[in-house]
Amino acid sequence: MSVPAHASYATSTTHPRSYTKVAVAMHWLIALLIFSNVGLGFFMETFPKKAPGHDEVLFYHASIGSLIFMLAVFRLVWRSTHKPPALPAHIPSWQQKTAHTLHWVLYSLMFLVPLTGYLHRMAGGHPVSFFGIGFLPVLIGKDEPLRLLTDTLHVCLVWTLCILVVGHIGAALKHRFFDRDSVIQRMLRV
Whether 65 shows a pLDDT value over 90: the answer reads: yes
> Model confidence over 135-188: pLDDT tens digits?
999 999 999 999 999 999 999 999 999 999 999 999 888 888 888 887 777 877
> Model confidence over 85-103: pLDDT tens digits?
888 888 899 999 999 999 9
Q: Which residues contact 108 (CB under 8 A, 6 or more apart)?
A: none
Q: Which residues contact 64 (CB under 8 A, 6 or more apart)?
A: 33, 36, 37, 40
Please give the CATH topology (third level) of the domain spanning 16-188: Fumarate Reductase Cytochrome B subunit (1.20.950)
Q: Which residues contact 149 (CB under 8 A, 6 or more apart)?
A: none
> Domain ranges in the chain?
16-188
**CA-based nearest residue to 22, from 106, 86, 105, 82:** 82
